[in-house]
Structure 1
């Protein structure tokens, strides 16, 4: 199936601009909580969006027909993790997360305040973003790292008995609770040398500004290729509504608003079936241009009703290809600001991501979670030398300090012993 790309920008800057969407069903009476973003918050929006597009193009290399994930969740989990590093390893995180030109303090403060803005901007949208950190019981978290996690990411930083099998349930239950029961049993096991789990969870539920009547949904063809079609539940608006729209003749960009219009679902699609070629122009600069150039257009929208779940069991290879290399290998410079107590070399073992989305006539429900798993190197015990006393031998009992021999003997034939 040629890739059908639906990009949900509810966790990036896609819905941050105040727009006159027109139409609606009374939502114009609800005032969104708009405020001027600080310069460092705008920089965080740029960083989030650039990372999201970098990640999109990286994951596209796998050739999956369908995919869904939360770049905001992944970005936030890795930003939290970044604070445990310094030097060259820290620079790798900064480059990956697109924090160029920002200090660590500015990045952390921006992450906090932008998240708070997203949580409060639209009273009609149910959105939750939460972070948590569990570390190996008996270890001491470095105070500045703990302070940054608690202050800027509002993360509870708690000890956990990693050797207890029930500890998996503690992390999974937290994720399930924060995603309204959608993301379940995400973590499969805790390795014996695990020392920390950094977790982000995000939940979104928003009703369309212009809802699709259920009685208008009907089976219609969806053209995978010009020669291959499948039947889908195609939703349709009752009448024309106002959308922000842009087209360059080859590619269409549409913003489908939720509730007050502060959040929207961005759509990119082509006029032909060569979407892969069109997506080569999917860059930060072009996205900004499409958003700015889009104008209000009135039309009846039809779109598929769908549900999708996508789990990435380990994003290690993709993140390494994007430039985050050292943290995935045992290295003495990894996570030097994570623990106060001495540790063996540390590394990220897994970055797990699980996401779900359901789009129907009423709106969209989506959830995702990201787990960063950090391990400590373990010394593999060498195989001990084996000496077998399988032939006659002399033995004696001696006093160590003086060397005096107290007893002596010889064993040559155990079969004739009394």
Structure 2
């Protein structure tokens, strides 16, 4: 899916040698996609995940990181020199626009659960409040049943009841001395603006693929379908050809192509919400110290304990039918 970003956000594409947050998100999305596909293409022909959520969740860790961990996260997220007020403001404006322009069809929520004995850094609390409008919830992780019920209940509520059981008792039992859990969810339910009729179509010679942009009602978000010209072509080859710049050019072509009567047949389909661990993919992208108890530098998050990331679980699915599509997803992070 894509979204038309206002010119004021895209203005000054390069400020000095710095790229915009929007560009960083796109570049990160393709880095993750390529690594994710290389690791999981043999597992299933269908893959579904939300790079936007992964990006935002890692930013929550980036703003509390230092040293080698900060450097690795910035490289992975394509966010050079991110930890400064101007960059924070840029991310806040983009996030507010995404939520405001799609408030009728999108629900986005993040909850940070922290050990009640953890002393959070005041500066970190202020940052997550201003940037993500959240306040960490103190919990007692020794009461496993209560924690599991609370996290699953709130995850279910954030995804309109479509995603359940994101965390189980054994998940907490396997992790010793859990100090912090980040649960991140987005629920998107879009209805087609035109169930029948005119859509924007473009044939891309480089990709050897037909592309079509399908609009949603009450939203700037579009579903972009890329269909290889030959039915024998594996879609995975598109991953090798696509990157953030190529996709931006493709979106531009679609946006400026005239609407035309398009014969478009989309079967009803649903990709199930399988849990996927992203730890190895993230480490392959260069962010390794954050998972190392001795190397992780997250002192900007808490003052009285040393944190490191132990697990990242992602769960997403998409449903497309004659009315539209819905895409709930959830992510759970464990920090010891």
TM-score between both structures, scaled by the size of structure 1: 0.71
The answer on 1:169 being equivalent to 2:149 is: yes
Find the residue that maps to 1:156 and give its secondary structure.
coil
CA distance in 2, matches of 1:323, 1:40: 29
Alignment correspondent of 2:72: 92
Match of 1:83 in 2: 63
Q: Which moved more, 1:258-267 or 1:133-142?
A: 258-267
Task: Quote the residue 1:367 is aligned against.
Answer: 328
Post-superposition offset of 1:192? 3.4
Cα offset for 1:314?
2.0
Residue 245 of structure 1 pairs with residue 229 of structure 2: no
- CA shift for structure 1 position 313: 3.9
Work out the number of aligned pairs and report it.
317
User: Secondary structure of the equivalent of 1:300?
Assistant: coil
Matches of 2:21 and 2:181 in 1, distance apart? 24
Say which structure is richer in strand: 1
Please name the residue that 1:290 is paired with.
Answer: 250
Please name the residue that 1:326 is paired with.
Answer: 289
Q: Which residue does the alignment assign to 2:16?
A: none
Q: Distance in 2 between matches of 1:151 and 1:251?
A: 42
Deviation digits for residues 1-34 of structure 1 (CA, Å, limit 9, x no counterpart): xxxxxxxx2xxxx2215xxxxxxxxxxxxxxxx6
Give the aligned CA root-mean-square deviation in angstroms: 2.1
Secondary structure of the residue aligned to 2:179 is: strand
Larger RCO of the pair (alpha carbons < 8 Å, separation 6+): 2
Which structure features the higher share of helix residues? 2
1:233 counterpart residue number:
none
Q: Can you list the C-alpha shifts for 1:266-297, whole angstroms capped at 9, x where unaligned?
A: 11121112233333211111111111223123
Distance in 1 between the 2:63 and 2:179 partners?
16
Tell me what 1:350 maps to: 311
| C-alpha spacing 1:40/1:89, structure 2 compared with 1 (3 Å) | farther
Task: Flag the structure with larger Rg.
Answer: 1
Inter-partner Cα distance in structure 1 for 2:295 and 2:82: 26
- Determine the C-alpha separation between the residues in 2 that align with 1:60 and 1:311: 15
What does residue 378 of structure 1 align with?
A: none
Structure 2 alignment gaps of length 5 or more: 14-18
- Which segment is superposed worse, 252-261 or 279-288? 252-261
Matches within 5 A, 1:95-110: 95-100=75-80, 102-110=82-90
List structure 1 runs of 4+ shifted beyond 4 angstroms: 38-42
Q: Deviations over 1:26-63 (max 9, x none)?
A: xxxxxxxx673265898111111111111111111121
TM-score by length of 2: 0.88
Runs of 5+ consecutive residues of structure 1 not aligned to the other structure: 1-8, 18-33, 212-236, 376-418
1:331-390 Cα offsets, whole Å, 9 max, x none, are 25421112111x2x4321101111121100000111111122101xxxxxxxxxxxxxxx
1:38–1:271 distance in 2 versus 1, CA, 3 Å: closer
